[in-house]
Structure 1
Amino acid sequence: MRSGAAVAVKVYFPETDEGKRELSERVAEVHAAFVLDAIDKLHCPIRQKKELLQKVIDAEKKMEGRKRYKGALQKLL
């Protein structure tokens, strides 16, 4: 990991409901892509990868934002 000078970052969050929804969907898409990439890099049979992905989806069903997450995963598959 790199170390060096700190960088100051200002973050402006959306104020409208539409902006918040769009941000939430984009975050879900990035997270889904990360999960798929991590699973894809595993050295195991495709069957096990599919089982693991299903377990991730099942776990997300129990959490808030399930519909957005599943939709993002399905877009990427």
Structure 2
Amino acid sequence: MDSVHLALLLSRAAVTQEADSARPWAPVVPSRPRHGPYARRTRRALASALHRVADAVTPTPARDICSPAH
């Protein structure tokens, strides 16, 4: 029950801020420059590193160790 009251209190401030941002005298915030192509490389490098770590950490199933080769 407290979460509803808290949400209403917090949402009022957010709605007021959004409404004031549409006013003609609202400050203009300059847009931030987008990141270069290095973000894609970083994401790809992180994904491949996580795959390597997962392969290294994954335990070998016990049935493969104990069962004879067919």
> Where on the TM-score scale, by shorter chain, does this alignment land: which range?
0.3 to 0.5
The two structures have a TM-score, normalised by structure 1, of 0.33
Q: Which has the larger radius of gyration?
A: 2
